């Protein structure tokens, strides 16, 4: 079948226009996707969102729009995009099934960044590990333990159980239990405990400290000592109070008993 020069020219013009339109659609669409991505990141930044969440949502918006633009450009060239979309969907399903664990960690990371149960710098306990949060990534969370070990926990495990955030509130209660002998004066011991607490400036006046008899144990009368302090002062106060109370008890003649057992020997004469 012979094709005239005019028909060839018309075909070139026809497909050339389509190709040019596809290029314009892709270039303009890519530019718009980039602009929208930056607007998303800027809007999140104004709301004080986490930087990792800003970058994640901006990238998600950019690549999502870019895929849409690419499909629109291919459609302009006459390619059947319905079948292409089906292939992409099938591939995405296959990848999703193969990466179920990773996707679960991805979703958990997104929820952590969105709802912020903890932040970088908080001391938390999660997935059986306690430490200071160093990084919050999309798939994992990094903790630094008190002995300076780095622990990397999949986000799915972090959100799959209880999360204890010790840094969430400005104040914490210090819980101490001090045992005295049954022969010691309870009122005297409580007065000593009050003096030790008043002497430490880190102990907050409001809420007021609580000192009370909590238990008549086997070998001791147990007193609870519960002052409040700033979260940043918690461990320093805990250790210093333990030492200072022991020294004051020794000075004032109040004994801290240790577990004892009385053994009675009976002599049997044959």
Classify domain 5-98 at the CATH class level: mainly alpha
The pTM of the full predicted model, rounded to 2 decimals, is 0.63
Q: What is the mean predicted confidence (pLDDT) over 33-61?
A: 76
In terms of pLDDT, which residue wins out, 82 or 23?
Answer: 23
Pick the CATH number of 171-252 from 2.60.40.10, 3.30.70.100, 3.40.50.720, 3.65.10.10: 3.30.70.100
Residues 98-121: pLDDT tens digits?
445 677 888 888 888 888 899 989
Residue 134 has pLDDT above 80, yes or no: yes
Q: What is the mean predicted confidence (pLDDT) over 68-72?
A: 80
In terms of pLDDT, which residue wins out, 28 or 71?
Answer: 28
Q: Are 120 and 134 in contact (CB under 8 A)?
A: yes
Q: How confident is the model at residue 225, as a pLDDT?
A: 97
Residue 162 has pLDDT above 80, yes or no: yes
Least confident of 43-47, 78-82, 153-157, 217-221: 78-82
In terms of pLDDT, which residue wins out, 207 or 93?
Answer: 207
| Pairwise CA distance, residues 178 & 217, whole Å | 11
Give the confidence band of 131 by pLDDT, cuts at 50, 70, 90: very high
Burial class (CB in 10 A: 0-12, 13-18, 19+), 77: middle
Q: How confident is the model at residue 6, as a pLDDT?
A: 58
Residues 214-263: pLDDT tens digits?
999 988 999 999 999 999 999 999 999 999 999 999 999 999 887 766 67
Q: Which of 103, 96, 111 shows the shortest CA–CA distance to 159?
A: 111
| Pairwise CA distance, residues 230 & 234, whole Å | 6
Q: What is the mean predicted confidence (pLDDT) over 170-190?
A: 96
Q: How confident is the model at residue 145, as a pLDDT?
A: 96
Q: Where are the domains of the chain?
A: 5-98, 117-165, 171-252
Residues 34-44: pLDDT tens digits?
888 888 878 87
Least confident of 34-48, 77-91, 185-199, 210-224: 77-91
Give the confidence band of 25 by pLDDT, cuts at 50, 70, 90: confident
| Pairwise CA distance, residues 54 & 37, whole Å | 10
Average pLDDT of the chain is 84
Q: How confident is the model at residue 1, as a pLDDT?
A: 47
Burial class (CB in 10 A: 0-12, 13-18, 19+), 105: buried
Give the confidence band of 267 by pLDDT, cuts at 50, 70, 90: confident
**Taking each helix axis from N to C terminus, what angle separates 51-76 and 100-115, rounded to the nearest 10 degrees?**
120
Residues 6-21: pLDDT tens digits?
566 666 666 677 778 8
Residue 152 has pLDDT above 70, yes or no: yes
Q: Return the CATH architecture of domain 117-165.
A: Roll (2.30)
Kindly state the percentage of the chain with pLDDT values over 90. 48
């Amino acid at each position: 079948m012979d094709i005239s020069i005019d028909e060839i020219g018309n075909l070139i013009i026809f497909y050339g226009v389509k190709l040019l339109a596809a290029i314009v659609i892709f270039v303009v669409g890519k530019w718009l996707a980039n602009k929208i991505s930056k607007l998303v990141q800027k809007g999140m930044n104004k709301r004080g969102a986490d930087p990792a969440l800003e970058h994640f949502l901006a990238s998600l918006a950019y690549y999502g729009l870019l895929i849409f633009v690419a499909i629109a450009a291919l459609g302009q060239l006459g390619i059947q995009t319905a079948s292409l979309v089906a292939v992409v969907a099938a591939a995405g399903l296959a990848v999703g099934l193969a990466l179920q664990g990773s996707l679960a960690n991805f979703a958990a990371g997104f929820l952590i960044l969105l709802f912020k149960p903890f932040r970088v710098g908080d001391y938390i306990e999660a997935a059986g590990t306690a430490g200071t949060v160093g990084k919050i990534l999309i798939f994992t969370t990094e903790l630094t333990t008190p002995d300076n070990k780095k622990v990397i926990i999949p986000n799915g495990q972090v959100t799959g159980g209880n999360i204890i955030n010790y840094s969430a509130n400005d104040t914490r209660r210090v819980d101490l239990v001090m045992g005295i002998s049954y022969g010691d004066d309870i009122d005297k011991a409580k007065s000593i405990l009050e003096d030790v607490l008043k002497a430490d400036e880190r102990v907050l006046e409001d809420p007021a400290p609580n000192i009370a008899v909590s238990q008549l144990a086997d070998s001791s009368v147990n007193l609870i000592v519960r002052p409040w302090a700033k979260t940043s002062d918690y461990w320093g106060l805990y250790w210093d109070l333990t030492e200072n109370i022991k020294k004051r008890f020794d000075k004032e003649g109040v004994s801290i008993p240790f577990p004892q057992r009385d053994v009675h020997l009976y002599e049997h004469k044959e």
